[in-house]
Amino acid sequence: MYSRYKKFIEKYIPHNFIEWNLFKSKLRVENYKKGQTIHHIGNICHKLAFINSGLARAYMIGDDGKDYTWSIFFNDENSQMTNLFVIDYDSFLNQTPSNLGIDVIEDCQLFVLEYKDVQFLYDRLKKGERFGRLMSEEAYSYLHKTIIDRQLKSAKDRFKEFMKNTPYLLEKVPQYHIATFLGITPQHLSRLKNSHKY
């Protein structure tokens, strides 16, 4: 059941049988249907959730009352660490109310660690602490890249990168969510899609 998670961890940190079984003993499986909410804005994020299958998205609500997609979570060969973990890192690390909500786009199976169990593993496993540090570094890198891309790259270039890395998401994720993820209007996204065909 946990083979994809185990394989993912082994890419970053080799571990032995005892370490893996201690880690696995703390995991819980959660299944969500399309349209369900995994995490509500304003709640404290207590879960570190690895997405084994399905699609979800994190979003925030702007001053205009509209929602803006922050991240899309999925698990395939193109996934980065920040795509694989369904979490609000800031809320989880600091145990403070979250600015993000997380909804299910396509039925999801998650492997979940509670905050207290993550702390337990940090205390018991040196490799666990290293893995946590790698996740924090990835989260910072994602935030840094997102801000830089919005400032320096054109909408056309952001769309091209999206199509290069994850073109299939265009068919699975509602267009409005992709548009807000790229920082453009749905109308602009439609024009970019049409020009991309030729």
| Model pLDDT for residues 12-32, shown as the tens digit of each residue | 777 777 888 888 999 999 999
Q: Residue 104: inside a domain, yes or no? A: yes
Q: Residue 39: inside a domain, yes or no? A: yes
The list of the chain residues with pLDDT below 70 reads 197-198
Give me the pLDDT at residue 1, please: 85
User: What are the φ and ψ backbone dihedral angles of 118, each rounded to 5 degrees?
Assistant: -65, -45
CB 31 within 8 A of CB 107: yes
CA distances from 172 to 10, 65, 66, 176, 180 (A): 29, 24, 21, 12, 15
Q: Residue 136: inside a domain, yes or no? A: no
Give me the pLDDT at residue 94, please: 93
Single-letter residue type at 176:
Y
Single-letter residue type at 48:
L
Q: Residue 134: inside a domain, yes or no? A: no
CB 94 within 8 A of CB 88: no
What total of structural domains would you count in the chain?
1
Q: Residue 133: inside a domain, yes or no? A: no
- 18's CB contacts (< 8 A; 6+ apart) are none
CB 54 within 8 A of CB 108: yes
CA distances from 113 to 46, 79, 85, 168 (A): 8, 20, 11, 29
Give me the pLDDT at residue 198, please: 44
Boundaries of domain holding 101: 3-127
Give this prediction's pTM. Answer: 0.86
Q: Chain-wide mean pLDDT for the chain?
A: 88
- 60's CB contacts (< 8 A; 6+ apart) are 41, 67, 68, 70, 99, 100, 101
CATH code of 82's domain: 2.60.120.10
- 55's CB contacts (< 8 A; 6+ apart) are 72, 73, 74, 104, 105, 106, 108, 169, 172, 173
Give me the pLDDT at residue 197, please: 64
Q: Residue 193: inside a domain, yes or no? A: no
